[in-house]
Amino acid sequence: MKIGVIGAGFIGRAVAQLALAAGHEVMLSNSRGPQTMSSVLSGIWGVQVGSAEDAAQFGDVVLVAIPLAHYRSVPVQGLEGKTVMDANNYYPERDGHIPELDRFETTTSRLLADHLPRSHVVKVFNAIFAPDLTQDARPHGAPERRALPVAADDVAAKAQVIQLLDELGFDAVDAGGLDESWRFERAKPAYCVALDQAGLKAALAAAQRTVEVPPVDRSRFRP
């Protein structure tokens, strides 16, 4: 599969490494253009680089991993009909305040889905710290394998991403549609905690819409 990545930061690069290791083709992009990405090219063997528009066109599946504040700059053209994986989180101190998120009226992924009405947005990779992606990946069937939450409105796109997660080294837990994806946004019990499938299901069920929990010692929950 060809995977385009918009955002060549910690998350984009970590997912790229896992995807290349699993045999996929990957194109990374940033906001400044491929001429600024020589360290990415030399640091990740086999990766391709391009503009955000190039990565959108390139991918059969495309990952968006940029500061949420910039979500409206994600190219709409090139992503029509495609599965778009959304790793973005809302940090008001970084992104500025987004009133409808502050009022718990919508979700970060619903904002992206509204911007990309002809794409199939899947929330994934937002609830794991980037270094843990390469550290915690395990082969299918490994004991106490880490699970990641996934939410999407489109059933086929969600299944495609769950299959990709398995190839990349993770189990999945289906957390429902995009309007339920607040259950694993920042400051919820499932956020960036290492859990197996049973533990993750319990953490998702424990989430309360308007209650934010402090960060936990994530190693405490390591399976």
Ligand X SMILES: NC(=O)c1ccc[n+]([C@@H]2O[C@H](COP(=O)([O-])OP(=O)(O)OC[C@H]3O[C@@H](n4cnc5c(N)ncnc54)[C@H](OP(=O)(O)O)[C@@H]3O)[C@@H](O)[C@H]2O)c1
Write out the residues near ligand X by the rule CB under 6 A.
6-12, 29-32, 52, 65-68, 70, 73, 87-89, 91, 126, 129-130
Cα 26 to Cα 193: distance, rounded to the nearest angstrom:
27
State in angstroms the smallest separation of the CB of 185 from ligand X. 10
State in angstroms the smallest separation of the CB of 138 from ligand X. 19
Q: Are 71 and 49 spatial neighbours (Cβ–Cβ below 8 Å)?
A: no
Q: List the strands of the sheet with 61-64, edge to edge.
A: 48-50, 25-29, 2-6, 61-64, 83-86, 120-123, 147-152, 171-174
Cα 59 to Cα 25: distance, rounded to the nearest angstrom:
9
Alpha carbon 56 to chain centroid distance? 15
State in angstroms the smallest separation of the CB of 113 from ligand X. 15
Query: Nearest-CA neighbor of 174 among 140, 142, 148, 203?
Result: 148
Rank residues 107 and 126 by Cβ distance to ligand X and give the closer one. 126
Assigned token pair, 30: 């940033």
Rank residues 201 and 218 by Cβ distance to ligand X and give the closer one. 218
Cite the DSSP H helix spans in 72-185. Answer: 92-95, 99-102, 108-115, 130-136, 155-168
Rank residues 72 and 143 by Cβ distance to ligand X and give the closer one. 72
Rank residues 32 and 140 by Cβ distance to ligand X and give the closer one. 32
State in angstroms the smallest separation of the CB of 124 from ligand X. 10
Rank residues 8 and 157 by Cβ distance to ligand X and give the closer one. 8
State in angstroms the smallest separation of the CB of 51 from ligand X. 8
Rank residues 126 and 160 by Cβ distance to ligand X and give the closer one. 126
Q: Are 3 and 62 spatial neighbours (Cβ–Cβ below 8 Å)?
A: yes
Cα 84 to Cα 136: distance, rounded to the nearest angstrom:
23
State in angstroms the smallest separation of the CB of 94 from ligand X. 8
